Structure 1
Amino acid sequence: MGTYTFGKSKGIYSFNFDALLGKPKNLKLVAKLENPRYLIINKNNTHLYSVLSSGNIDGCASFSIDENEDYLFTAAL
């Protein structure tokens, strides 16, 4: 889940969805970056791509996913 980082949020989070409560649980920060907006994971679930915004500068970032780790590995910014 990507978040705007104006308040307490710090970037991209992983979570489990609790269908009974209708909300996320086990929220974990997996990539710290400013204002990740749109996220997509490739079809092999090995990379995550994000559009991000910092001030007047927009860009994109890519991350390598390791399901055994609690964070994403930066591939490119």
Structure 2
Amino acid sequence: MALLAFSAWAAYWPYGRIDTAVGFGIAGAKTALVALVFMRLKHASGLVRIVAACGLFWAAILFTLTLADVLSRMVNR
């Protein structure tokens, strides 16, 4: 619930240039919470952990490329 409240608060607070990075940071914290608690990766077998780590690595690549695109568009304005 705290992450939800922080997410709603961050949506209306003007951060300027780091607005997108703050949103991605909150999303990353929510993702970690879902993976560890609700998917029970703490107690999963090794293969399940490897598959989850590969999925998170791929998501990190996509987030990084998206953030780079957004920030490069802000610089060129």
Shorter-chain TM-score category? under 0.3
Structure number with bigger Rg: 2
* Greater RCO, CA 8 A, separation 6+: 2
Decide which structure has greater helix share.
Answer: 2
Pick the structure with more strand per residue: 1
Scaled by the length of structure 2, the TM-score of the pair is 0.26
